[in-house]
Amino acid sequence: MDIRFEPSRGLVGELTAPADKSISHRAALLGAMAAEPVRIENYLHSADTDSTLAAIQALGALVQERDGVITVRGTGLREAREPGGPIDVGNAGTLMRLLPGWLAAQEGRSFTLDGDESIRRRPVDRIAEPLRLMGARVDARDGRFAPFTVHGDRLHSISYELPVASAQVKSCILLAALAADGATTVGEPARSRDHTERMLLRAGVSIHRNGKHVTVVNADELVLDRVIVPGDPSSAAFAIAACVLVPGSRLLIHGLGANWTRTGFLRILRRMRGIVVGDLESESGELLAEEPICDLDIAYGSLEGTYVDPEEVPLAIDELPLVALLGCFAEGETLVRGASELRVKESDRIETVVEGLRGLGADIEATGDGFAVTGTGGLRGGVIDAAGDHRLAMMGAVAGLASREGVTVRGMQAADVSYPGFVEDIRALSR
């Protein structure tokens, strides 16, 4: 589906951010693993998170929805049912990487996971290796791609250092560790989002963090009761970027997740002199249980280029395409380093962002592990192909609103995997 976004005369108004995708996936999965029913309020209904609800039902969980509240009646930690056929993860990388952690602990049962064309290009060896070390077997196509089969077994605890910071891989190990025989420790080279840790803490699990290491002790059961999903900072980031780039804009965003591990983009934006007012969580030495929320007040303003260093990358990983876009409008150079993970997202986001923005008139170069943008005061506009990648589609739309001539996005429907209603929301705010 091609959609055209004409230059905007300002985005003005209020927006309730769509529900958080990462937290929705985790709430459904932990609900399926829990001993008692879990009520989930404000669950995100998108293609990705609907895949998770379908997957847990195939594994024996009951899912009911009434008045916008989802109740999951799970099977418990060790009683997932073997489904009749492969589990379809669709386009959802988070589901594909987290679910095997639970499945690995299902002794004597096997589970095959498969998904769409894009998911079949995304590596799973990063979870297969630690799960094998814990005692499960994972057979993947060419050793590293879907379709792959997880053969559940009795698991042992491990100490594991992640080669790259990834909340998905960390979470997979933490879920497997719940049914292992002792305490498992996972270390990462840089902090990544910690929603799994917070939710496990709320579910009564013994879990703690020491710097970049998390240790979890095996558990008999999870008791979670109720999860309220906050607004997704990565989805709201598109409206936020449009607001800071289009002269005359002023937006209030309500109910946004303020977890420090998810607000790296807002810190980068503030460093670029973007006007962002709100009560964001500060960095904490210890593991917190709650997911704080805040309101944000954003306004248009001129920007300066910045340097995003490798430690910041996991804290803003899904928003880095927007950092590139902001860089096109900022004064000076914007440089992102240590972001080779972008190459294994829904598309190779270093290539697709650089090619896409260059096609709209940007002065941008790919580097091995990121990109360098030189601000030229704006963007001409043109046509951008979403390459089946939701974040690229939404970046293209924002580029159109802020451009001189407008942008046509090819494949805008990709946005539905994380933000159904994006086009309507952005049009309602734009003058």
Task: Point out the catalytic residue in the list 20, 50, 116, 318.
Answer: 318
- State which residue has the least CB distance to ligand S3P: 22
Nearer to ligand S3P, 104 or 402 (CB): 104
State the Cα–Cα distance between residues 325 and 309, nearest whole angstrom.
Answer: 17
Query: Measured from the CB of residue 318, what is the shortest distance to ligand S3P in angstroms?
Result: 5
Query: Measured from the CB of residue 398, what is the shortest distance to ligand S3P in angstroms?
Result: 18
Query: Measured from the CB of residue 324, what is the shortest distance to ligand S3P in angstroms?
Result: 16
Active site residue 318: yes
Nearer to ligand S3P, 251 or 393 (CB): 393
Can you read off the two tokens belonging to residue 34?
A: 């829990």
Q: Given the structure tokens 């995100």, which residue do they identify?
A: 44
Helix or strand holding residue 335 (H, E): strand 333-336
Nearer to ligand S3P, 191 or 193 (CB): 193
Can you read off the two tokens belonging to residue 32?
A: 């399926």
Nearest Cα neighbor of 323 from 391, 422, 231 is: 391
CA 284 to chain CA centroid, nearest Å: 21
State the Cα–Cα distance between residues 123 and 407, nearest whole angstrom.
Answer: 32
Query: Measured from the CB of residue 267, what is the shortest distance to ligand S3P in angstroms?
Result: 17
Nearer to ligand S3P, 324 or 360 (CB): 324
Nearer to ligand S3P, 72 or 401 (CB): 72
Binding site for ligand S3P (CB under 6 A): 22, 94, 166-168, 171, 192-193, 317-318, 341
Query: Measured from the CB of residue 193, what is the shortest distance to ligand S3P in angstroms?
Result: 6
Concatenate the DSSP letters of all residues of 127-141 into one string.
Answer: HHHHHHHHT-EEEEE
Concatenate the DSSP letters of all residues of 4-57 into one string.
Answer: EEPPPS-BEEEEEPPBPHHHHHHHHHHHHH-SS-EEEES---SHHHHHHHHHHH
Active site residues: 318
